[in-house]
């Protein structure tokens, strides 16, 4: 028993005295809705729809154009306020504009729905005594993160309005995406805390679990940067890049630090290297803990291998919409799995005391 901790039999200090099941279902619903939001956002990006709405109106923006005059007004704003229209879509018709408008409107509308789906139940749980004192700060932070996500979303879109950019700034897209991932992971972590028992795990697993979560999060952020730079369509050979191990244009920008955020070659190269590192760590952990009665490391290794294969398939096909969304969606699932691995390997105070007592006995 020197290598493992005991399964916790103590109820979570965050859990309220009633309504735990309903709370967990609500947190899981929010996580799933944000996951859907990510997929819709990915489709919005891939269809170049993100700049079709040039204003941020949190309340009035819920009402789409209702007449031909309203549509003309919205279209004129897109024509006069974005470089995207003049460079990418100079021949776009009103019907074509409507196609990209509905993607962006749907993305923003889903964000409003998520806000209501969080705020209304939260007030109900709080006012009816279904939120413990330890859980309340976490839910408040989640609510604040949701509000911040709305602001970050507009900050992202604003980078392409009245500017020379033909799409949103890649680093702002990365920030917006990473905040969505944080909200999903936070909801899932709380869902685990409120009702899932930790399994027996080797004490050595905690460091590896932390590494897996950190590298997975980094890889997801790099993926968002690759998407923002449209770098997935620039080098479509593998394992080389334009026939080279290291692309010649990797450090073409000056000053050199700009390459990390603005050079498609650099972004894709680093994304590839991080993918190799993550796959190596996942396979090593699956092998290292193969004899333990714990399936999470092998499960994560399998998901990481699937994501790596899907990434290569997406790349060599020049990142079409369907494969890109599948790659993004599986990536989020991979991050959730990494969160589960890290949570399971953590040792709360109650478990630490139980372990110490068991060892002395």
| Structure confidence at residue 60 (pLDDT) | 82
Place of tokens 């700009």: 258
Residue 4 scores a pLDDT above 50 = no
Grade residue 292 by pLDDT with cuts at 50, 70 and 90. Answer: low
| Structure confidence at residue 202 (pLDDT) | 75
d(CA 280, CA 284) in angstroms, rounded, equals 6
| Contact call for residues 200 and 4 (beta carbons, < 8 A) | yes
Place of tokens 């699932």: 333
Residue 1 scores a pLDDT above 50 = no
| Structure confidence at residue 278 (pLDDT) | 97
Q: What are phi and psi of 202, to 5 degrees?
A: -65, 145
Report the DSSP beta bridge partners of residue 244: 241
Alpha helices in 60-135 (DSSP H): 68-81, 83-88, 94-127
pLDDT per position as a tens digit, 48-69: 999 999 998 888 888 999 999 9
Residue 10 scores a pLDDT above 50 = no
Residue 329 scores a pLDDT above 90 = yes
Determine the average pLDDT of the residues in 251-255: 91
d(CA 320, CA 237) in angstroms, rounded, equals 15
Residue 349 scores a pLDDT above 60 = no
Question: Which distant-in-sequence residues (6+ apart) come within 8 Å of 157 by Cβ?
Answer: 50, 51, 53, 54, 56, 168
Grade residue 354 by pLDDT with cuts at 50, 70 and 90. Answer: very low
| Contact call for residues 77 and 65 (beta carbons, < 8 A) | no
d(CA 34, CA 40) in angstroms, rounded, equals 10
Residue 303 scores a pLDDT above 60 = yes
pLDDT per position as a tens digit, 22-56: 999 999 999 999 999 999 999 999 899 999 999 98
Share of the chain above pLDDT 70, in %: 91
Determine the average pLDDT of the residues in 198-207: 78
Question: Of residues 202 and 221, which shows the higher confidence score?
Answer: 221
Determine the average pLDDT of the residues in 323-327: 95
Report the DSSP beta bridge partners of residue 4: 202
Q: Rounded to 5 degrees, what angle do the CA atoms 306, 269, 39 make? A: 50
d(CA 62, CA 108) in angstroms, rounded, equals 8
Report the DSSP beta bridge partners of residue 202: 4
Count, residues in the chain: 361
Crossing angle of helices 321-345 and 296-316, in 10° steps, is 160
Residue 267 scores a pLDDT above 80 = yes
Residue 184 scores a pLDDT above 90 = yes
- Respond yes or no on whether the N-terminal peptide bond of residue 239 is cis (omega within 30° of 0): yes
pLDDT per position as a tens digit, 84-104: 999 999 999 999 999 999 999
Question: Of residues 148 and 356, which shows the higher confidence score?
Answer: 148
Cα end-to-end span (Å), the chain: 11
Alpha helices in 128-204 (DSSP H): 136-158, 170-193
| Structure confidence at residue 203 (pLDDT) | 79
| Structure confidence at residue 100 (pLDDT) | 95
Q: Rounded to 5 degrees, what angle do the CA atoms 172, 175, 180 make? A: 130
Predicted structure pTM score: 0.90
Q: Rounded to 5 degrees, what angle do the CA atoms 326, 225, 212 make? A: 70
d(CA 138, CA 14) in angstroms, rounded, equals 10
Mean pLDDT of the chain: 89
Rg, C-alpha atoms of the chain = 23
Buried b (16+ CB within 10 A) or exposed e, 118-156: beebbeebeeeebbbeebeebbeebeebbeebbebbbbb
Question: Of residues 289 and 293, which shows the higher confidence score?
Answer: 289
C-alpha 107, offset from chain centre: 15
Determine the average pLDDT of the residues in 213-238: 93
Question: Which distant-in-sequence residues (6+ apart) come within 8 Å of 161 by Cβ?
Answer: 51, 54, 81, 82
| Contact call for residues 109 and 62 (beta carbons, < 8 A) | yes
Determine the average pLDDT of the residues in 170-187: 96
DSSP 327: H
Share of the chain above pLDDT 90, in %: 76
């Amino acid at each position: 028993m020197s290598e493992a901790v005991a399964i916790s039999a103590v109820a979570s200090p965050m859990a309220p005295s009633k309504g735990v099941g309903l709370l967990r279902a609500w947190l899981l619903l929010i996580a799933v809705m944000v996951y859907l939001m990510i997929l819709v956002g990915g489709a919005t990006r891939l269809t170049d729809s993100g700049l079709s709405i040039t204003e941020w109106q949190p309340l009035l923006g819920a009402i789409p154009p209702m007449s031909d005059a309203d549509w003309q007004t919205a279209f004129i704003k897109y024509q006069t306020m974005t470089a995207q229209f003049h460079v990418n879509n100079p021949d776009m018709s009103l019907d074509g504009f409507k196609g990209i408008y509905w993607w962006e409107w749907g993305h923003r509308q889903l964000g409003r729905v998520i806000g209501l789906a969080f705020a209304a139940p939260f007030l109900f749980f709080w006012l009816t005594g279904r939120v413990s004192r330890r859980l309340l700060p976490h839910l408040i932070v989640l609510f604040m993160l949701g509000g911040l996500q709305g602001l970050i979303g507009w900050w992202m879109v604003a980078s392409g309005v009245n500017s020379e950019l033909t799409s949103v700034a890649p680093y702002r897209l990365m920030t917006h995406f990473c905040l969505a991932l944080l909200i999903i992971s936070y909801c899932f972590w709380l869902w685990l805390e409120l009702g899932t028992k930790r399994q027996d795990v080797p004490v050595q697993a905690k460091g590896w679990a932390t590494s897996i979560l950190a590298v997975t999060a980094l890889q997801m952020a790099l993926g968002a940067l690759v998407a923002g730079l449209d770098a997935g369509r620039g080098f479509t050979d593998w394992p080389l890049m334009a026939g080279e191990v290291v692309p010649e244009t990797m450090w073409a920008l000056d000053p050199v630090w700009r390459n990390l955020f603005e050079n498609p070659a650099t972004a894709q190269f680093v994304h590839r290297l991080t993918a190799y590192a993550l796959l190596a760590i996942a396979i090593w952990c699956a092998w290292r803990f193969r004899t333990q009665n714990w399936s999470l490391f092998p499960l994560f290794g399998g998901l990481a291998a699937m994501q790596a294969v899907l990434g290569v398939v997406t790349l060599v096909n020049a990142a079409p919409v369907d494969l890109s969304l599948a790659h993004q969606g599986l990536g989020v699932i991979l991050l959730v799995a990494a969160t589960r691995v890290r949570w399971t390997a953590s040792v709360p105070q109650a478990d630490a005391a139980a372990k110490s007592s068991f060892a002395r006995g």
